[in-house]
Amino acid sequence: MTRIVCLASGKGGVGKTTSTINLGSALLGFNQKVIIIDGNITTPNLSIHLGIPQNRPTLQDVLEEKSSIENAIYVHPTGLKIVPSGISLENMKRRFTKFISESIVDLVGKYDWILIDTPAGLGKEARIAMEAANEVIIVTNPELPAVVDALKAKNMAQALGTTPLGVIINKVIGDDTEMKLDNISNFLDLPILASIPFSKDIKKSIKEREPLVFDSPRSAATIQYKKVAAALLGSEYKFIEKPSVIQRIKKILGVI
């Protein structure tokens, strides 16, 4: 069965695109068939995060019935499959004849997971992305303005018949200026799927156009994304630190 999940927030810049890419990568690492779709039709995100070439079919071509969705799939060097939106400003003027929900029909049954990166705000573009999904993961930061918008996004998704699975709290520093995780969970009435630390590894992965999960496999943020993926698959992920070659030699020699 294909699960169609969108990642939404209300507030911009909280980490939806980062979370979509890395949750998708973590699921791929667990041998799932995954495709991620850039629901940011007017302000594309995935192409920029992952350095996807522009001279190729995009989601806009699919929505305009100029390309099949299969032709618009880009395979990143890591193996992650993406339907990107085009970054050209011309895209803003295009008239679309299809919705994302209709366009992804051909992918249903072929993938285990379709993840949709949802635009910020609660406008038409966000609604179109939420409507295409059956389930939603809310992404927020641990501060009141983001959490209030997260509640609006959750309510909007539910009104559209999309089931909330839980919340990813991103850019967590852990100081006393932040809302406590339990308070966020109570406020949103959602389980916490992950608490992702504010991490330089994420900045580095975006600079390198590579999902964090592949770029920094031992990063604390990677471990959190793998935990979310495992939880979605109904299991638990435990990170086992492999000893380095030097540690292994020392162990053989009885030094440690």
The residues of the shown chain that bind ligand ATP, judged by CB under 6 A, are: 9, 12-18, 45, 120, 170-171, 196, 198-199, 202-203, 206, 221
Q: In this structure, what DSSP letter does residue 205 have?
A: H
Q: Say if CB 203 and CB 174 are below 8 A apart.
A: no
Contact 141, 167 (CB under 8 A): no
Residue pointed to by tokens 């969108």: 6
Taking CB under 5 A as the rule, does residue 141 contact Mg ion?
no
Tell me which of ligand ATP, Mg ion, none is bound by residue 13, counting a contact when its beta carbon lies within the kind-specific cut-off of 5 to 8 angstroms. ligand ATP
Partner interacting with residue 199 (select from Mg ion, ligand ATP, none; CB below 5-8 Å by kind):
ligand ATP
- Compare residues 20 and 224 and give the one whose CB is closer to Mg ion: 20
168 binds, among ligand ATP, Mg ion, none (CB under 5 to 8 A by kind): none
Comparison of 16 and 227: residue with beta carbon closer to Mg ion: 16
Q: Interface with Mg ion includes 17 (CB under 5 A)?
A: yes
CB of 17 vs Mg ion, minimal distance in Å: 3
189: exposed, middle or buried (C-beta count within 10 Å: 0-12, 13-18, 19+)? exposed
Indicate the residue among 16 and 226 with the shorter CB distance to ligand ATP: 16
Residue 15 partner contact from Mg ion, ligand ATP, none using kind-dependent CB cut-offs of 5 to 8 Å: ligand ATP
Comparing CB distances to Mg ion, the nearer of 45 and 224 is 45
CA–CA gap between residue 92 and residue 218 (Å, rounded): 40
Residue 214: CB atoms within 10 Å: 21
Other beta carbons less than 10 A from residue 177's beta carbon: 8
Give the binding-site size for Mg ion (rule: CB under 5 A). Answer: 3
Binding mask 27-66 for Mg ion (x = CB under 5 A): ------------------x---------------------
Q: Give me the least distance between CB of 167 and ligand ATP, in Å please.
A: 13
Closer to Mg ion by Cβ: residue 1 or 39: 39
Spatial CA neighbour of 213 closest among 86, 112, 76, 107 = 76
The 3-state DSSP class for residue 137 equals strand
The candidate with the shortest Cα–Cα distance to 64, out of 101, 104, 98, 90, is: 98
Angle between helix 144-159 and 181-188 (nearest 10): 30
Give the shortest CB-5-to-ligand ATP separation in angstroms.
15
Handedness of CA 216, 221, 227, 229 (dihedral sign): negative
18 part of the interface to Mg ion, by CB under 5 A: no
Query: Measured from the CB of residue 246, what is the shortest distance to Mg ion in angstroms?
Result: 41
Q: How many CB atoms lie within 10 A of CB 138?
A: 28
Per CB under 5 A, residues contacting Mg ion are 16-17, 45
